Amino acid sequence: MCKTIKLDEKNYRLHGDKNKRIIRKSLAELGAARSIVVDNENYIIAGNGVFEMSQELGIKTRIVESDGSELIVVKRTDIAADDEKRKLLALADNHASDTSEFDIDLIASDFDVEELDAWEFETNIDNDPTKEFNELGDFEFNNNNVQSWKSLIVHFDNETDFNQFKNLLDLKITDKTKSTYFPQKEKEKAPEIYE
């Protein structure tokens, strides 16, 4: 275990169980391929999930010092251009990043909207929450009693907890579901809006 490198206590990425499984599988079956970044005190800036899974697997760590003026390239001498392992590694690397998500609350506490916009970082954080709605222009909309009595935001530490909650309440929800009613209602088809 590499004791000199420390996980970032304010990591902007949330690594759920699925994400960790994919990183772990990639490291175990395909080996290390991506470097991580630490600051001058050895706190991880980027690569918390990769580092955590590599340590569980007992993969050795080598620190390459840099001031950021050159790109550090990891050359895998065991992989050729036509290897099946090469295709799997490219898939796993890209898929792993897709299965983690940003901690929007933490990001919102550290950055203002203008700074995030400068980096083209899309969030639901906005100084004017009606801006996008207003850009649609004038149209008639009939909102038939969609007021809910109470709303509740529920956070889950892992996929198992999410599935347990979903099964307990017999909800038809997925990883992409943003909201639901309880008891669940049939979805009404939204009217199409034409100019």
Distance in angstroms between the alpha carbons of the first and the last residue of the chain: 61
Residue 84 and residue 28 share a domain: yes
* CA-only gyration radius of the chain, Å: 22
The most confident of the ranges 52-56, 151-155, 161-165 is 52-56
Is 136 inside a domain boundary?
A: yes
Contact 107, 116 (CB under 8 A): yes
Contact 24, 57 (CB under 8 A): yes
**Cis amide bond preceding 183, omega within 30:** yes
Contact 102, 13 (CB under 8 A): yes
Is 158 inside a domain boundary?
A: no
Q: Give the phi and the psi of residue 116 in degrees, each rounded to 5.
A: -65, -40
Average pLDDT (39-66) is 94
Query: How many structural domains does the chain have?
Result: 2
- d(CA 13, CA 29) in angstroms, rounded, equals 24
- Under 8 Å CB-to-CB from 46, ≥6 apart: which residues? 36, 37
Residue 95 and residue 22 share a domain: yes
> Quick check: pTM over 0.75?
no
Is 79 inside a domain boundary?
A: yes
Q: What's the whole-number average pLDDT of the chain?
A: 83
Residue 136 and residue 114 share a domain: yes
pLDDT score for 194: 47
pLDDT interval class at 68 (50, 70, 90): very high
Provide the residue range defining the domain that includes 82: 13-102
- Structure confidence by residue, pLDDT tens digits, 73-88: 999 999 999 999 999 9
pLDDT interval class at 133 (50, 70, 90): low
